[in-house]
Each structure stands twice: as structure tokens, then as C-alpha cells.
Amino acid sequence: MEEKFINLIKEALEIEDREVSLTDKFKEFDEWDSLALLTLIAELDDNFGVTIQSEVFENITTLQELFDHVKNDQ
């Protein structure tokens, strides 16, 4: 599941050519913007059946925290 999650992040942010780890502070990526947010919300809904509210994104910093939300909401 973790690998699927990481691949999905890479796809949503269009950074397939980079190494991404759960400790990354994803909102500091240059590619992170409101369009990436929409893509990520759609991908998480499509692949994991979870919808993550904007407030959650506002209050987290690392991919690990986002991953925890996805696992808990499933």
C-alpha cells in the first residue's frame, strides 16, 4: 500500500523521475499548488476510496501524515 501511495503522489505531482519518501515535506515541493491538490484528492478517492478535506492538508507537513490519514479513513 505504501508503494502504491508513493507512486500516486509522484503521478499527481508529475515527479515520476524523482525519489520520494514518506518523510518528505510535500507542500515544500515546487510542484505543489492548488492544481496538484485537486489531482491528489481525485487520485486518493479513485485509488483508496477516501476523500481528504482541505483542512487536513493545511495541518500536515509530511507524506507520512497524509499516508496515516488515508489508512485511517479507509
Q: Can residue 59 be called a binding residue for another protein (CB under 8 A)? A: no
56 in Cβ contact with 11 (< 8 Å): no
57 in Cβ contact with 37 (< 8 Å): yes
Q: Can residue 53 be called a binding residue for another protein (CB under 8 A)? A: yes
Measured CA to CA, the distance from residue 5 to residue 48 in angstroms comes to 9
What is the per-residue binding string for another protein in 5-44, x denoting contact by CB under 8 A?
A: ----------------------------xxx-xxx-xx--
Q: Which residues bind another protein (CB under 8 A)?
A: 33-35, 37-39, 41-42, 45-46, 51-54, 57
